[in-house]
Structure formats: C-alpha cells, structure tokens
C-alpha cells in the first residue's frame, strides 16, 4: 500500500520547513522509528521517523528546499509484517 510521508507541522505557527538531509535513498527498506529525514524550522532541527516498515519509492523534494506543511516529502510503500 502506498504511503506519502508529508512535511509535519512541528509547531503551531509553522508553515514550512527546510529539508536539511535525507537519511534514506530510493529502494531502501526502513523499520518503524528509523529516521527518514531532518527538517529545520526557525527554532530547531528535528528528525522525522518512519511510522511503519516501508520501502522508499521516491524523494519528492531536494535537500535545502523549503517544503510547505502537508506537502509530500517521500513516497513509500508499506511492507507487510
């Protein structure tokens, strides 16, 4: 099943975050809790983790891009347990 990982809203006034670094590549298989990417806001750099076992299908933003809250950062597919 396809799953889009979107830019999370990390604070009440956040409208976008800067994609600092991907920690995965297309084709990688990740476990729940594994860090997918880092995002910088005006206050902090946060690590965004995988919500489930996933295979990375595509990267939708470039490192250094400002990504709006709710926009897709990664496209993945869930891996059956």
Burial class, 53, CB count within 10 angstroms (exposed 0-12 / middle 13-18 / buried 19+) = middle
Question: What percentage of residues in the chain have a pLDDT greater than 90?
Answer: 91
State how far the Cα of 81 lies from the Cα of 69, in Å rounded to an integer.
30
Whole-number pLDDT of residue 10:
93
Q: For the chain, where are the alpha helices, taking DSSP H only?
A: none
pLDDT > 90? residue 81 = no
Question: Can you list the positions of beta strands (E) in 23-71?
Answer: 29-30, 35-40, 45-49, 54-59, 66-68
Whole-number pLDDT of residue 6:
97
Whole-number pLDDT of residue 43:
83
pLDDT > 90? residue 77 = yes
Work out the pLDDT band at 31, boundaries 50, 70, 90. Answer: very high
Whole-number pLDDT of residue 53:
96
């Amino acid at each position: 099943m396809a799953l889009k990982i979107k830019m999370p809203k990390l604070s009440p006034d956040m409208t976008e975050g800067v994609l600092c670094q991907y920690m995965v590549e297309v084709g990688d298989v990740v476990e729940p809790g594994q860090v997918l990417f880092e995002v910088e806001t005006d206050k902090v750099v946060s690590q965004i983790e995988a919500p489930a076992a996933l295979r990375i299908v595509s990267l939708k933003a470039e490192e250094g891009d400002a990504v709006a809250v709710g926009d897709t950062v990664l496209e993945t597919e869930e891996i059956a347990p």
